[in-house]
Amino acid sequence: MLILFILIYILVTLFIGLFSARYLKSTSDFIVAGHRLPLSMATATVFATWFGSETLLGASSQYAEYGLIGVIEDPFGASLCLLLIGLFYARPLYRMKLLTFGDFYKVTFGPKAEIVAALFLIISYFGWIAAQMVAMGIVVSLLSGWDLHVCIIATSAIVILYTYVGGMLAVSVTDFIQMIFIIIGLVIVLLFLLPEVGGISKLFSEIPKSHYSISLTTPRDYISFFAALITLGLGSIPQQDVYQRVMASKSEKVAVVSSIIGSVLYFTIALIPLVLALIAKKMNLDFGDDIQNMLPTLVLTKTPLLIQILFFGALISAIMSTASGAILAPAVILSENILKPHFFKRKLSDKKLLRITRISVLVVSAIALIMALVRRDIYELVGEASAISLVSLFVPLTAGLFFKLKSERVALCSMLGGFATWVICTLLFPDSYPIVVGLLASVLFSCFPAKKSK
C-alpha cells in the first residue's frame, strides 16, 4: 500500500512538472524562469533544491555515528553558504544580469577563464546529482523490494523527464509544492515519535553530552572543523544552481531576502533528521548493512501507514527537488558556456538554443546516472562535489566581485593551481587536509602579479 502512494506522488509530481512546461516561452524561461519568481517561490526553490538526500539520509546517519562534529559540513556549512550568499553575493551578482555563472568568469576575466570555470562547474555537479539518484533508488527499493539498480534508473528517468521538458519553470513549481511536503511531513513524524522516547528532554538527557557538543582541543581538531565548515559553506557559493535562483527572482530584494530566509529555514528543518537519528539510535533498531537506511527503517517499523506516507512523501520531495535543480545547473553551463560559443559559430535562434540546452540535460544526466550505479555513499558524493568548486572557483569569484581582480592570467592560475594542489594532496597526502591546502593554494596563486600590458 505504501509503495502505491509513493508511486502516485511521483507521477503527480511528474504531471505538475510537465504541465508547468506549457508556460515556457523561451530559453530564458527554461534557465531562469523568466526572472519573475516572487519571494515565496524563490525561497521555496532555494530551500527545496538544497534540502536533499544528504540532509535527510546522509547527515542523519553521520550524526548517529559521529555526533555533532560529523555534521558540520551539512547542515551547518550549507546554511552558512546560503546566509553568505544572501548577505554578500546575491546583490552584486543580480545586478550583473547574466544568464549563467560561467558568464561571470567570461565578463570579468575572459573567454579562457570561462571555459575552465565551466568545466569545473560541470564536473562538480556529477557527484551531487548521483547522490540524489542513489537516494531515490534506495527509497523505492526499500519500500518495494525491487532491484536497487532498476529503482535508480526508473526514478531518475522521471526527474530527468520533467527537467528536460520544463526547465527552471518546472523545477520552481515542483519545488514550491515539495517544500510544503518536506516541512509538514518531517514535523508530524517528529511530533509522533518524540513521545515514544519520553520527549525531547529525556532523549537528550540519556545521550552522552559529547554526542551533541563540539570539543576542539588540538590544532588538528580546529583544522578538521574548518575544513568541514568550508566544504559547503564556501564551496557551494560559486555554483550555477545558486546563481540560477538569484537570477530567477523578480527583483534584487527578493534575491537577497529569499537566500537569507532559505538559510534559516534550511537550518531549522535540517535539525529534525538529526533528532530523528537520536530517536533511532535510542531504539536500537536493525538498519542492515547500510546506516543510510536508518530513518526509513525507523519510520517503517515504528509508525502507522499515514505517518509513513507523510515521511516518505517528504523524503521523495526532498530528493526530487534537489535532483532536478542539480541536473539543470550543469546542463545550462554546458550549453551556454561551452557548446554555444565554441561549437556553434553562427548565431542560434532561441528555439535551437533551447534544444541544445535540453540535450545537455540528457548528457549530464547520463554521466551522473553511471556514477550513481557505481558509487553509493551519499554524504561523500556531495562533499566531493563542493570541494571541487571551493578549491578552483571560490577565490576568483570573490576576488573578481569584491577586490576588482580582472586579470585572466591570475584567475586561471588561481583556478588551475588550487585544483591541481587539491588533487595531488588527495592522492598522495590524504591526511594533509587537501581541501584546506587547495584553497590556500588558490589564494596564493591569485596573488600573482597581473601581466602588464605593453
Determine the pLDDT at residue 168: 87
At 453, is the pLDDT very low, low, confident or very high (cuts 50, 70, 90)?
very low
Instruction: Express each pLDDT in 114-160 by its tens digit.
Output: 999 999 999 888 888 888 888 888 888 888 889 989 999 999 999 99
Residue that is written with C-alpha cell 578552483 in the block: 392
User: What pLDDT score does 373 carry?
Assistant: 86
Q: What is the pLDDT of residue 348?
A: 78
Binning pLDDT at 50, 70 and 90, where does residue 181 land? confident
Percent of the chain topping pLDDT 90:
49
> Using CA atoms, how far apart are residues 434 and 419, in angstroms rounded to an integer?
10
Is residue 418 within 8 Å of residue 392, measured between CB atoms?
A: yes
Q: Distance from CA of residue 290 to its chain's centroid?
A: 22
Q: Tell me which amino acid residue 291 is.
A: I
248 contacts 45 by C-beta, under 8 angstroms: yes
Give the number of other Cβ atoms within 10 Å of residue 177's Cβ.
17
What pLDDT shows up at residue 289?
67
pLDDT tens digits for range 70-94: 899 989 999 999 999 999 999 999 9
DSSP state string for 161-184: HHHHHHHHHHHHHHHHHHHHHHHH
* pLDDT score for 384: 65
Q: Flag whether pLDDT at 376 surpasses 80.
A: no
- Average pLDDT (173-190) is 90
Check if the beta carbon of residue 111 is closer than 8 Å to that of residue 341. yes
Could you report the per-residue pLDDT of 418-431, keeping only the tens digit for each? 999 999 999 999 99
| Helix %, strand %, coil % of the chain (to 5) | 85, 0, 15
Q: What pLDDT, on the 0 to 100 scale, is given for residue 330?
A: 93
- Report pLDDT for 375: 66
348-371 pLDDT per residue, tens: 788 888 899 999 999 999 999 998
pLDDT of residue 342: 79
Cell numbers for 270 = 535540517
Identify the top-confidence range among 21-25, 33-37, 212-216, 327-331: 327-331
Assess whether pLDDT exceeds 80 at residue 262. yes
Average pLDDT of the residues in 329-349? 85
Q: Is the pLDDT of residue 219 over 60?
A: yes
Q: What is the pLDDT of residue 450?
A: 67
Angle at 356 between CA 119 and CA 137, to 5 degrees: 70
Q: Is the pLDDT of residue 259 over 50?
A: yes
DSSP 68: G
Rg of the chain over all Cα atoms, to the nearest angstrom: 21
Please state, in angstroms and as integers, the Cα–Cα distance from residue 378 to each residue in 54, 79, 81, 231, 383, following that order: 6, 18, 20, 15, 9
Q: How confident is the model at residue 95 (pLDDT cuts 50, 70, 90)?
A: very high
C-alpha separations of 446 from 230, 279, 404 in Å = 19, 47, 12
**Measured distance CA(269)–CA(74) in Å, rounded:** 12
Find all residues with CB under 8 Å of 413, minimum gap 6, and list them: 445, 446, 448
